[in-house]
Amino acid sequence: MKSHVWRPLYVVLVIVALVLVARTVLVPADFGIGSRGYMYGWHRAGNEQQWKDVKVKYKTAQYCVNCHRDKYDEIRLSPHAAIGCENCHGPALGHPEDPKTLTIDRSRELCARCHFRLEYATSGRGKIRGINPKTHHPELDCVTCHWPHDPRKEGHQP
């Protein structure tokens, strides 16, 4: 058969070869079918480790108690026992070295997350003692009168 008949075939073969070469260069070596099969597990295996390596920022009260045993014991015996340290003090991150100080939130808005009174009898919210922040001493910080580590005690004195 004449060469002009074969020529398009050569062109196609060259294109296929180029695609295959490009594929080996561009697709990572660990790309493949994972344990969940072709439909759900087709991925780059190295990415799982990348997600595992994300930095842990909230280290929980079990980390804080190593140095702040007194504070930990006080709040654990108070009506605020369930609240974690980092909810108000911010994530521990590399504390105490980095950051040296934590982002302590003493705002009225923080307390109002739970203590803004909502009359929802069918929800746990309705069982929490609450106030209306607009009428309940709007000019003061909550911590002026209420000690957050034990709300039965009086707050910060200036």
Partner 1 sequence: MISRRSFCKKTLLVAGGLAVPLSALELFDPRRLLAEKDQKAPRWVFLVDTHKCVGCGFCVKGCKVENEIPYDANVTRTWVERYVITKDGRTHVDSPLAARDGFKSSSIDIGHGKFQEIGEGEIDKAFFVPKLCNQCDNPPCVQVCPVGATYQTEDGVVLVDRQWCIGCGYCIMGCPYGVRFFHPVHHVADKCNFCYHRITKGMNTACVDSCPFGARKVGNLRDPEDPVTKAVTTERVNVLKEEYGTKPQVFYLGLSKEVK
Binding-site ranges for partner 1 (CB under 8 A): 31, 34-36, 39-44, 47-48, 50-58, 60, 82-84, 86-87, 90-91, 109, 112-114, 116, 118-120, 122-125, 128, 133
- Cβ proximity to partner 1: between 13 and 81 the closer is 81
Structural contact between residues 120 and 153, judged by C-beta atoms closer than 8 angstroms: no
C-beta of 90: minimal distance to partner 1 in Å? 8
C-beta of 30: minimal distance to partner 1 in Å? 11
- Cβ proximity to partner 1: between 5 and 139 the closer is 139
- Cβ proximity to partner 1: between 10 and 94 the closer is 94
- Cβ proximity to partner 1: between 124 and 158 the closer is 124
Tokens 């009260």 belong to 61
C-beta of 71: minimal distance to partner 1 in Å? 16
Return the C-alpha torsion angle 88, 63, 98, 49, nearest 10.
-110
C-alpha to C-alpha distances, 153 to 69, 115, 148, 156, nearest whole angstrom: 19, 17, 8, 10
- Cβ proximity to partner 1: between 14 and 48 the closer is 48
C-beta of 4: minimal distance to partner 1 in Å? 38
C-beta of 23: minimal distance to partner 1 in Å? 13
